[in-house]
Structures are given as structure tokens and as C-alpha cells.
Structure 1
Amino acid sequence: MNDRRPWPDIDPDPIRARAIRQLHLRRGLQVHVLIYVLANAIQVVVWFAYTPQQFFWPLWSILGWGIGLLFHIWGVHSGAGIDEARIEREIDRMHGGGTRN
């Protein structure tokens, strides 16, 4: 059986759907960390090869991008996921604050 759905978030089992969403978030974080490490390592190698006597300019990328990466880590692991109450509030907001039929 092919388990590939056109919309993976639409699943009759809400726990399974939440687990799939969390796995997607973690995979995205893994890719982000890998690219962060590789890109900054390349910058450090370039700095060392061409301008080691000058200011360590890769620091700006490491710190700036690192702040964004920390927010990404926090967002994935904070536990402030999407719960049923938030979903209901969003549905109500989308319907103009009225009751649904």
C-alpha cells in the first residue's frame, strides 16, 4: 500500500498527523543545522587561507545566522505545538468570529 498522501497533514488519526508534522519539522531543523555548519566552515577555511592576519570576519555570519538557528531550534523543541484549542480559535477567526455550521 502506498502511504503517500497528496496532503500529509490530513489524516484520520490526529496523533499520527501530529507525529508526521513533528518529523517534518525535525527534518527541516536537521537540514538547517547541516547547512549552517557547512557554510560557516567554508567561510572559516576561506578566512584562514586568505586573510588569517585580519579580523575573524566569519564571526558575523556565525553569530547572526546562529541567532536564527537558535530560534528555529526553540520553535521545533519548545513544545508549544498546535493543539486543538488553537485550531478551534483559528477556525473561529477564519469564520469571522461566528459559530460554525
Structure 2
Amino acid sequence: MENQEAYQRAKKRAEAKFGLYIHLAVYIAVNILLIVINVSTAPEHFWFIWPLIGWGIGVFFHALNVFVFSGGPSLKERMLAKEMEKESL
């Protein structure tokens, strides 16, 4: 039983990391394309920086969620455990 739970937690963490890596790869590819378009069409004004920064903030928070805030059980899981403790009393 506990082995299955450990497997599910590990699977969830691996999927979260994989999702972040996909997000990061798309971010890099699209922003390279935006830089090329910007430099080739309007080199006097660097507008590519705005989507780079905006989307970069999103990638940063995605990474925080994956690596910093995913250590413990979710709020839903903690609430469920608390309710089950009440039921067993």
C-alpha cells in the first residue's frame, strides 16, 4: 500500500518536472524566433523584451511550484487527512 503511494508521489513529481522542461523549451524556442523577427524587421526598437520578460515570469513561477512548493502534500490532501483523523476518533 505504502509502496503504491510512494510511486504515485514520485510519478506526480516526475510529471511536474517534465511539464516544466517542456514549458522551458517552448519558451526558449519561441523567444529565439521573436528575437530573430524583431532584429530583422525593426532593429531600432527591441520589442521582443516584453514578451520575454512576461513569459519569463510565468516560467519562473512554474519552476518555483515544481521545485520549491511541491515538497509536501497539497492542501486538499492535508484537509482530507485531518477529516479522516476526526472520523477515526
Root-mean-square deviation over aligned CA pairs: 2.7
Identity of aligned residues (%): 25
Task: State the shift of 1:81 in Å.
Answer: 3.6
| 1:38 is the counterpart of 2:29 | yes
What TM-score comes out, normalization by structure 2 length?
0.80
Distance 2:28 2:64 in 1: 18
More helix by share: 2
Q: 5+ residue gaps in structure 1?
A: 1-10
Query: Which of the residues 14, 33, 41 maps onto 1:23?
Result: 14
What TM-score comes out, normalization by structure 1 length?
0.71
| 1:70 is the counterpart of 2:65 | no
Question: After the TM superposition, which parts of structure 1 deviate over 2 Å for at least 4 consecutive aligned residues?
Answer: 79-86, 90-93
Residues 57-96 of structure 1 mapped to structure 2, 5 A cutoff: 57-83=47-73, 87-90=77-80
**Alignment coverage as a number of residue pairs:** 86
Q: 5+ residue gaps in structure 2?
A: none
